């Protein structure tokens, strides 16, 4: 089997879906434009607005990974339909346990970037596994 890179059209479609999902989660988490920029590693709120309007270039591979991790975190927090408000509270509330050390998961992710997004996503997957 030979793997080939996605066509431009398919890559653009993937990027568009990732952005739609990211913006829906950003709204649910009540993130400021600056927080959204930091999570996706977008240079400014003006560029972020161009992405929202569909007028910016497609996301880089790293930005797509960041958007996917945010979606995975949201999914892990809302998989149980009775806990829909859990995501906002969990993301914003300070946590004493490592790796947060008193910071909120949101602050931890904003300050530590991609490695922190990966760590939070893994933590939530581990927490959801049956014991």
Map out the domains of the chain as residue ranges.
Answer: 9-128
Nearest CA to 105 out of 84, 77, 79, 83 is that of 77
Q: pLDDT value at position 30?
A: 96
Share of the chain above pLDDT 90, in %: 69
Cis, bond preceding 99 (omega within 30 deg of 0): yes
pLDDT digits (tens, 9 = 90+) for 26-73: 999 999 999 999 999 999 999 999 999 989 888 999 999 999 999 999
């Amino acid at each position: 089997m030979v793997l080939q890179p996605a066509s431009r059209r398919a890559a653009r479609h993937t990027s568009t879906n990732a952005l739609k999902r990211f913006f829906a989660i950003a709204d649910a988490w009540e993130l400021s434009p600056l927080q959204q920029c930091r999570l996706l590693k977008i240079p400014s709120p003006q560029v972020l607005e161009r992405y929202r309007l569909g007028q910016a270039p497609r996301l880089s591979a790293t930005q797509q990974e960041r958007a996917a991790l945010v979606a995975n975190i949201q999914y892990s927090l809302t998989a149980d339909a009775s806990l829909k408000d859990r995501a906002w509270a969990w993301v914003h509330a300070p946590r004493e346990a490592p790796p947060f050390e008193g910071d909120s998961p949101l602050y931890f992710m904003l300050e530590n970037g991609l490695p922190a997004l990966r760590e939070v996503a893994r933590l939530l997957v581990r927490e959801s596994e049956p014991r």
